[in-house]
A and B are shown apart, each in its own frame.
Chain A
Amino acid sequence: MTNYLQLSNITKTYGHFTALDDVSLSVDKGEFVTFLGPSGSGKTTTLMIIAGFEKASGGSVEIGGQSISQLAPHERNIGIVFQNYALFPHKTAVENVYFPLQMRGVSRSQGLRRAEDMLSLVGLKGFGHRHPKELSGGQQQRVALARALVFEPSLLLLDEPLGALDKNLREQMQIEIKRIQRSLGVTTIFVTHDQSEAMSMSDRIVVFEKGGIEQAAAPLDIYHRPQTSFVAAFIGESNLIPATIASAVAGTAESPTLGAFDYASTDVLADGQKVTLLIRPEHIKLSRNPIDGRKNVRMVVETIVNYGDNALVIGRAGDIPMRVRVLGADVVIIKEGEECCISWMPDAVFVITR
């Protein structure tokens, strides 16, 4: 079944300020979709409208063909994991998980059994009797997840749930959440401003910016074929070069500073069209002398950041700032302040028209 969750033309205004402008999106059943964007981009507002805590100024939300726009939050049957987990401090872990079942009239003995089962699923067997303050951040996170899933919600919403965890735990929880989501097949919306989280967990990423959707696509599509300069700059590291299409037939562009370019794009382009060329830092090669068969450009090296296994070389080609990612061992050929040669193949050049 497709189009399980359907957002149609959602608009949200606060006085004169437009927080969301005509947002439409459909999500398949069982899909894991991430809302990614900087703060204030509208991703959380969209989530709150789906949950029913914010009322949209226009547009509709449907789940499984039924409009839920007019339903109160408690009628929507949506599981939510909040940023700081929002566990009830006066209830034990298992009572927290039992709560949504209690609200649905499930008997205490049966409800507690289901709550215990759910706690086992999230890896917290035997922790049920503890109060939230007796649990670590990661454990609280799991309880919150169990509580949001135990009543078999029609949708699971996760609002930056990993923000408060340290890096190792965060990576562990990413894998855990993905595993649990797959095993239950629950349709999930995950909100984050962390792009690596979005890349590693999602079936599809929706990039928000200034109250609208910039692009909605699979992670690798977003990375390799960003449709706007914003997406290109926001996801991963990027070199963005303003250029004009010289010949659409021959596949060449002209940059005022860097000269003629070959590119490999299947998009329909017109001669003289203003475009932005994207080259990812890892697709650029660093050398002393020009290499045949590649586009070669001189670059002055300003900073070298060595991470051990790899290094980031930051410099300038003419007036354009450039970043080059090289293997850690290769960086010895160059020093800060020196000039070197950088080069790339035509298929490393991606044309962005917006």
Chain B
Amino acid sequence: MGISLSKLTEKTNIWPWLLLAPLGIYMLIFFVVPLAEVAIMSFTEPKVSLANYQKFLTGALYQRVFLNTFMTAAFVTLCCLLVGYPLAYLMAHSKPRTAMLILLLVTMSFWTSFLVRTYAWMVLLGNNGPLIAFLQMIGFDKPPQVLFTRFSSTLAMVHILAPYMIMNIYTVMKKIDPALIRSAESLGARGWSLFRHIYLPLTAPGIANGSVLVFVICLGFYVTPVLLGSPREQMIAGLIGHQIEEFLAFGLGSAMAMILLVVTLIILTIYHRRFGLDKLWG
């Protein structure tokens, strides 16, 4: 009995792998191979050496862009949290109609292509757009430059990434047992103390999940900062694009990409150790 059973499981064991094969092959051809190529290029272009990494580590400009990218990502994450937390709260605890309306607005914005959203911001914030017109109307003779600044790119990135934060926090808030809140009230908590001691810690996993997701996506953001941001305040993805498109410096571009990848993996590893990546997806 035991023998035949183990034979059976041995036989059936290959099925999951067969089912996984199409996806595996696809990922191999379109993800693993190109990535490996980038990794190899970073050491071989234009000749086999560590020169590309040396160049990055000694170039003040590159490091400034790198630092700027992390600062921007952190700032965008913070803004997403400040905007997203109250919105998620409203979604989770309003009357069904209000909650549905906010959910609809958030998901609609989420489903719209981020390229479309980026162009929408260009129209809204541009010199001939409604914001500048409004500023002129209320008495600015020479309205400030809004588009192509750090402000406009940050604003657009917060708008584009906030749904990730909102959805993560919302899911956690929705799962909180109402009896916990009632119980806290019956024990004498209310208002700020209820929030600080009970509600906030209970929603912390959502905050952690949303933040790491927004931060990591933001690190690699390309289109929005390039189209909306100040040319002097580049982010790393834009710089990589620059190296490859303008200077044809495939090696240096690849080295930067690898460094970004490694740093991102390190962040995810730390997060995984602390909270568990599996929780990131609900």
Contacts and interface: CB of A to CB of B under 8 A. Distances in A.
Contacts of B202: 88-90
Contact of A99 (B177, B187, B190, B204): B187
Contact of A88 (B180, B186, B188): B180
Contacts of B184: 88, 99
Nearest to B177: A86
A74 interface: yes
A127 interface: no
A55 to B, nearest CB: 14
Interface in B180-195: 180, 182-190, 193
Interface string A60-97: 00000000000011101111101110101110000000
Contact of A82 (B183, B198, B204): B183
A88 B179 contact: no
Contacts of B182: 51, 53, 73, 80, 82, 86
Contacts of A72: 185, 190
A104 B190 contact: no
Interface in A142-159: 147-148, 151
A227 to B, nearest CB: 34
B86 interface: no
B186 A79 contact: yes
B201 interface: yes
B200 to A, nearest CB: 10
A100 interface: yes
Contacts of A147: 187
A103 interface: yes
A89 B186 CA distance: 17
B180 A99 contact: no
B179 A83 contact: yes
A90 B180 CA distance: 11
B188 A103 contact: yes
Nearest to A97: B187
Interface string B59-77: 0000000000000000000
Contacts of A148: 186-187
Nearest to A78: B186
Interface in B147-188: 177, 179-180, 182-188
Contact of B186 (A74, A84, A90, A104): A74
Given A86-B177, A88-B180, A51 B186 contact: yes
B177 A151 contact: no
B242 interface: no
A84 B179 contact: yes
Given A83-B179, A86-B179, A88-B180, A99 B197 contact: yes
A86 B182 CA distance: 9
Contact of B201 (A73, A78, A83, A90): A90
A143 to B, nearest CB: 12
Contacts of A80: 182-183, 186
Interface string B62-104: 0000000000000000000000000000000000000000000
Contacts of A86: 177, 179-180, 182-183
Nearest to A82: B179
A141 B179 CA distance: 15
Contacts of A74: 185-190
B183 A103 contact: no
Contacts of A90: 201-202, 204
Nearest to A83: B179
A288 B263 CA distance: 90
A102 interface: yes
A53 B185 CA distance: 9
7 contacts: A86-B177, A88-B180, A88-B183, A90-B204, A99-B184, A103-B189, A104-B188
Interface of B: 177, 179-180, 182-190, 193, 197-198, 201-202, 204
List the 7 closest A-B pairs by CB distance, nearest first. A103-B188, A86-B183, A100-B187, A86-B179, A73-B185, A90-B201, A80-B186
